[in-house]
Amino acid sequence: LQITLTAPENEAGFFMEPENLKKLAKFEEEIISDPDVTSISSVSFYIRELNNIMTGKKEIPESKGLINLLARYLKLLRTTDESNEVLAKLSNEDFTQITITLNVFNSENNRILAEAALRKLINRINTSMDKYINDFSPEIWSVDMRFLYLSEILTSDQAKSTLAAIILVLIISIVAFRNFKYGLLT
């Protein structure tokens, strides 16, 4: 799953500010504790990892030094032909938009998340987004989401067509038998 966040009023450098990254880190910490989320890839995650290597503290640093360093690395990655797709899409050029990538897996049956489990996970993610990052205009997307929506549409259409068939058979039976009881029994 991907979650794309957009800065309010497209403020340049918004996702390079420590206070915004701290909000994002709190959200990510709650999400990674979910048993169906196996890993996270994001600007905040990599900044915390860099800070852990440099200072031994896995947190967003107060100074912008490491944040600027990561921003330079990401800009450099975007310009290379062999750029890692996941790393290159972490942010846009001016850090007004970032993308969090979540690797998900059904922890109950050790399989890919099916429709119901995916819907439950998305609801849990939406709850966490409302709590921590709702002001960042979050949007969840992925190929799996397309299949989830397609499945919901098919289920809805199937229910409607089954109901229509039952009503039509009832009407035809009532007309053929000229009796409501026999039509209902049919």
Q: Specify burial of residue 173 (Cβ count, 10 A radius: 0-12, 13-18, 19+).
A: middle
The pLDDT of residue 110 is 87
The pLDDT of residue 118 is 86
How many C-beta atoms lie closer than 10 Å to residue 117's C-beta?
A: 18
Low-confidence ranges of the chain (pLDDT < 50): none
What percent of the chain is modeled with pLDDT above 90? 67
Mean pLDDT for the chain overall? 90
The pLDDT of residue 82 is 64
The pLDDT of residue 117 is 86
As a whole number of angstroms, the distance between CA 65 and CA 174 comes to 79
pTM of this structure? 0.78
The pLDDT of residue 83 is 58
Structure tokens given for 42 = 């994001």
As a whole number of angstroms, the distance between CA 17 and CA 136 comes to 13
The pLDDT of residue 4 is 95
The pLDDT of residue 81 is 64
The pLDDT of residue 79 is 77
As a whole number of angstroms, the distance between CA 37 and CA 146 comes to 19
**CA R_g for the chain:** 24
